[in-house]
Amino acid sequence: MLKTKDILDEKDKRLRMVSKDVSFPLTKKDKDTIQTMIQYLHDSQIEELSEKYDLRPGMGMSAIQLGIPKRYFVVVNEIDEGEFETYVLINPKIISNSVEKIYVEMGEGCLSVNRPVEGIVPRYARVTMEAYDMEGRKVHIRAREELAICFQHELDHLNGILFVDHIDKKDPFKGKDQYRAI
């Protein structure tokens, strides 16, 4: 079972690597890793399991956060109490985005950043992602608001970028009035 301590901390230089495209068919190891990531994200969002297994709650995870420099990530989005939608995006890219930008009012978080971080991270309010599923079929996913932010956050990981890189060091709330808070 994946534990919080298995997730790379921001100080680990591997998080700054640009991940490589994945070829198909997926290896058994990649399939197993994806299932492990899904399980962690699912369980981490259920309070009793999160406490029982000492999991930091998270909605998304990229392979690089486990030290695997491959271009895939998983998002487990709670759409209703105890009801989840799971997304596995392999070799993802944004093919279109809104002009409007938003930010998380309470601040973005990350399983690899184990400290409070203040500031805004401007993100597109809506994105359309092109990626491949676990069988190698091309998929298009339209996302908005929180889900769009999560996809952009995870895609950044694949390019060696952490959310803290987007925050202006001198003025963490710079541009706040130009974007919509969610």
- The domain that holds 15 is classified in CATH as 3.90.45.10
Query: Residue 70 carries which DSSP code?
Result: B
Confidence of residue 95 (pLDDT cuts 50, 70, 90): very high
- Mean pLDDT (the chain) is 97
Tally of domains within the chain: 1
Distance between CA atoms of 76 and 84, rounded to whole angstroms? 6
**Per-residue pLDDT, 181:** 96
pTM of the model: 0.96
Please check whether residue 60 is in contact with residue 74, taking contact to mean a CB–CB distance below 8 angstroms: yes
For the chain, the C-alpha Rg in angstroms (whole number) is 16
Share of the chain above pLDDT 90, in %: 98
Taken as a whole, the chain contains a residue count of: 182
- Compute how many other C-beta atoms are within 10 angstroms of the C-beta atom of residue 85: 11
User: Exposure string (b/e) for 33-68, b if CB count within 10 Å is 16 or more?
Assistant: bbebbbebbbbbbbeeebeeeebeebbbbbbbbbeb
Residue 159: the pLDDT is 98
Q: Which residues form the domain of 40?
A: 4-181
Rounded average pLDDT over 57-78:
98
pLDDT at residue 90 is higher than 90: yes
Note whether 2 and 149 are within 8 A (CB): no
More confident residue, 81 or 143: 143
pLDDT attached to residue 128: 98
User: Residue 175 above 90 pLDDT?
Assistant: no
d(CA 86, CA 60): 10
Q: Which amino acid would we find at residue 169?
A: K
From CA 23, how far away is CA 160, in angstroms rounded?
20
pLDDT per position as a tens digit, 4-23:
999 999 999 999 999 999 99
Active site residue 154: yes
Exactly one of 47, 105, 145, 154 is catalytic; which is it?
154
Q: Which residue has the tokens 């608001």?
A: 145
CA distance 91 to 72: 6
pLDDT tens profile 159-174: 999 999 999 999 999 9
